[in-house]
């Protein structure tokens, strides 16, 4: 029996509807969540992503301060722009779109963001809070994965979770979040990577398998057990002469084969992807509430 598809677009739409209602309530109290975005240069993928964020902010009623800067901006000028946003009370969240041009020091820029406005969840202060289980901003893609699981009725507590991938953006933070002693965690987590021996032996033990390796067809049908829940974080371009652009997007999972064994599975595109911007908006609203001294419901 083929797997049930986890529709990331629908889950994201549901969350955005909730956020839109929450923003409307905050505005009645005189609180307007604000997101400051910095885009340096003309990278097409980054421009498309930022444009999508702008539209999402407009739809939800979030104030958006968009700054599109020249690719030859100096480190000092960029740092000053971040400092200005740190000091701007209208801005609750700051997003510096990566990657930056090679002459700029990304680490220095990210470190300069006020941790209380770090809605990407990349600042070491927020990473440390995540690890020890304190309240902070959770990174958007890993948190989006957890929301997909919870809102699809998947039981995380006690589950054997196998993550394939150990990046600082997905693998490592997701593992930390899933082992936390709280309602979104309590799983037993195994992290696999390029040096893992007999990867298939590890993945076949998974109740929940999360693929974040960045390589198409890393997970094949013989590597999963019947009834597994599969979350595919990968986004890869493969050549396809039948497509107008000459390529199509696929995940890290052999979707057509694995879906015949899985209980639940995310597609690519339309799975994890829509959740990332949604969780950025979620963090921005949370930041506005914290700045106003309001306690969030957990």
pLDDT tens digits for 48-88?
Answer: 888 999 999 999 999 999 999 999 999 999 999 999 999 99
Residue 259 CB coordination number (10 Å): 20
State residue 296's pLDDT score.
Answer: 60
Q: Tell me, yes or no, if the pTM score tops 0.85.
A: yes
CATH topology of 30-116 equal to that of 140-275?
yes
The CA dihedral of 191, 197, 199, 205, to the nearest 10 degrees, is: -70
State residue 1's pLDDT score.
Answer: 62
- Please name which of 35, 39, 6 lies closest in space to residue 19, comparing C-alpha atoms: 35
For domain 30-116, which CATH number applies: 3.40.50.10860, 3.40.50.2020, 1.10.1740.10, 3.30.200.20?
3.40.50.10860
- Strand order through the sheet with 93-96: 63-69, 34-40, 93-96
State residue 60's pLDDT score.
Answer: 97
Active site residues: 53, 97, 120
User: 188 phi and psi, to 5 degrees?
Assistant: -100, 115
Buried residues in 41-55 as b, exposed as e (16+ CB within 10 A): bebeebeebbeebee
Q: What is the percent of the chain with per-residue pLDDT over 90, rounded to a whole number? A: 88
State residue 224's pLDDT score.
Answer: 98
Residue 141 CB coordination number (10 Å): 22
Cα(280)–Cα(114) distance, rounded to whole angstroms? Answer: 16
**What ranges do the domains of the chain cover?**
30-116, 140-275
Q: At 40, which helix (H) or strand (E)?
A: strand 34-40
State residue 117's pLDDT score.
Answer: 98
Cβ atoms of 165 and 193 closer than 8 Å = yes
Residue 92 CB coordination number (10 Å): 27
State residue 197's pLDDT score.
Answer: 96
State residue 238's pLDDT score.
Answer: 84
State residue 237's pLDDT score.
Answer: 84
CATH superfamily of 140-275: NAD(P)-binding Rossmann-like Domain (3.40.50.720)
- Please name which of 159, 109, 116, 153 lies closest in space to residue 136, comparing C-alpha atoms: 116
Report residues of the chain scoring pLDDT below 50. Answer: 298
Concatenated DSSP letters of 176-222: HHHTSSSTT---EEEEE-TT-SSHHHHHTT-SEEEE-SSSTT-B-GG
């Amino acid at each position: 029996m083929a797997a049930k598809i986890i529709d990331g677009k629908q889950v994201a739409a549901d969350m955005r509807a909730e956020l839109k209602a929450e923003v409307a309530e905050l505005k009645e109290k005189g609180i307007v969540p604000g997101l400051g975005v910095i885009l340096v240069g003309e990278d097409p993928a980054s421009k498309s992503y930022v444009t999508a964020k702008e539209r999402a902010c407009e739809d939800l009623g979030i104030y958006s301060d968009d700054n599109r800067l020249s690719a030859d901006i100096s480190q000092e000028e960029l740092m000053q722009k971040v400092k200005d946003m740190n000091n701007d009370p209208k801005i609750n969240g700051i997003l510096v779109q990566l990657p930056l041009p090679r002459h700029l020091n990304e680490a220095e820029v990210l470190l300069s963001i006020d941790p209380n406005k770090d809605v990407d969840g990349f600042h070491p202060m927020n990473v440390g809070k995540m690890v020890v289980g304190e309240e902070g901003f959770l990174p958007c893609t890993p948190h989006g994965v957890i929301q997909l699981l919870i809102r699809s009725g998947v039981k995380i507590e006690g589950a054997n979770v196998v993550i394939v991938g150990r990046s600082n953006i997905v693998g490592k933070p997701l593992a930390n979040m899933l082992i936390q002693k709280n309602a979104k965690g309590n799983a037993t987590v195994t992290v696999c990577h390029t040096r893992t021996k007999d990867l298939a032996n590890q993945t076949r033990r998974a109740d929940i398998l999360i693929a974040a390796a960045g390589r198409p067809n890393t997970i094949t049908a013989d590597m999963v057990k019947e009834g597994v829940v599969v979350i595919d974080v990968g986004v890869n371009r493969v050549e396809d002469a039948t497509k107008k652009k000459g390529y199509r997007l696929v995940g890290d999972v052999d979707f057509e084969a694995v879906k015949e064994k899985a209980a639940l599975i995310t597609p690519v595109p339309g799975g994890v992807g829509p959740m990332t911007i949604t969780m950025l908006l979620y963090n921005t609203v949370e930041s506005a509430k914290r700045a106003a001294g309001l306690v969030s419901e957990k």
